[in-house]
Amino acid sequence: MSLRFHLLGLAHLPTHPRVSACAYTQKVIKLGRILQLLGHEVTFYGGEDSEVPANEFVQVVSADDRRAAYGDYDWHSEFFRHDPADSAHQTFNRNAIAAIRERCQAGDFLLCTMGNYHKPIAQAEYPSQPWVVEPGIGYEGVFSSFRAFESYAWMHYVYGATHQADGSWYDAVIPNYFDPADFPFAERKGEYALYVGRLVRRKGLDVAVQVTRTLGMRLVVAGQGSLRNSTEGLDLAEPHVEFVGSVGPDRRAELMGNARMLFAPTYYIEPFGGVAVEAQLCGTPVLTTDWGAFSETVVHGVTGYRCRTFEEFVWAARNVDRLRPDDCRTWAVTNYSLDRVQWMFEEFFTRIADISRQGWYEPRPERGDLNWLRKYHPR
């Protein structure tokens, strides 16, 4: 069954593969690709310089609009600037609403990829009201009736935060998705540990610095921010730490593939933490905390270690060579590749489309399995 989708991009950035530090950007690009692989029709609404697989690209905000809202700043080194009330988002919303009104047909889907940032577009009136869906929830500002969360941990966190005590039949958990070709497998590893992510305290960079200091190991750090940041309480410019700044896709894959291990010891409940899966795609084990999405994405003792004390992190780093790179790669490819996750989206969207027929009772005589929920383990 071919469906029609109106896919919303970002107002504050071009939705382009080179903006690899933004998880939202990358998810939108790959979601457009998934929907087209499944044979659906996609209209993408985004900013100038965007590059997203779609049947039609409608530009709804310009580079000049972004510059007027945020000025000229280097988002490679600084954190992204955005606010749902700023002029770039107001322009994005206004133009997107007008363009969707011209194109919307009965049974269409409106994909709101940034939660409450896109809520004004969802609340507008259209000649035919679309199904409003949030397809990748890793944030708290949820509003729609149809929601796909990035992890079970985050779904239950949001349910609790919004005092929702009952489940929702039409919600789903669909993890982030990756193209394995972007993360080449490397069997042989170098002699350094790696941290990739925003340089903020709650991402646990200080844990990585302390553990590698204790072991006399080199730590390579990549991401937006600075090792010295009084606002974040960071002063981590130590001799064994090499800061390489924000890196593009090719350099990121090279660093991940050659690292002995990747540290992702996030303090907060991580909605997904994509770097953990990216590293595993490269065959690199991951050392994480034992909560949030990591409890789902890291197979303890097989593709990494989940730790709760400093001693556990040190032991894990010392013994990371017990883990097999091919197990990491197999786990990540079989559960988080585009080829795998596309069928989860197909199930999710088909279920919603069925509401216009018999809904919850709609028969699916073509079904041969329920493997869309299955997890595949390396051994």
Task: Select from 3.30.1490.190, 3.40.50.2000, 3.50.50.60, 1.10.533.10 the CATH code of 4-177+337-373.
Answer: 3.40.50.2000
Angle at the Cα of 4 from the Cα atoms of 65 and 117, rounded to 5 degrees: 35
Rounded Cα distance between 140 and 150, Å, is 12
**Topology match between the domains 4-177+337-373 and 180-334:** yes
| Residue 207: predicted pLDDT | 97
User: Strand pairing of 109-111 and 4-8?
Assistant: parallel
Q: Residue 20: CA atoms inside 13 Å, Cβ hemisphere, count?
A: 19
Alpha carbon of 275 to those of 131, 157, 239, 293, 324: distances in Å? 31, 21, 25, 12, 18
Beta-carbon contacts of 246 under 8 Å, excluding residues fewer than 6 positions away, are: 21, 76, 77, 222, 223, 224
pTM: 0.95
Residues of the chain with pLDDT under 70: 379
- Per-domain residue ranges for the chain? 4-177+337-373, 180-334
Q: Which residues pair with 328 in a beta bridge?
A: none
Of the candidates 268, 346, 265, 350, the one whose C-alpha atom is nearest the C-alpha of residue 312 is: 265
Structure tokens at 289: 């905390």
Exposure class string for 296-321: b at 16+ Cβ within 10 A, else e: bbbbeebbbbbbeeeeebbebbeebe
Amino acid identity for residue 375 in this structure: K
Q: What is the pLDDT of residues 220-236, one digit of tens each?
A: 999 999 999 998 889 99
Task: Select from 3.40.50.2000, 1.20.1050.10, 3.40.50.11540, 3.40.1030.10 the CATH code of 180-334.
Answer: 3.40.50.2000
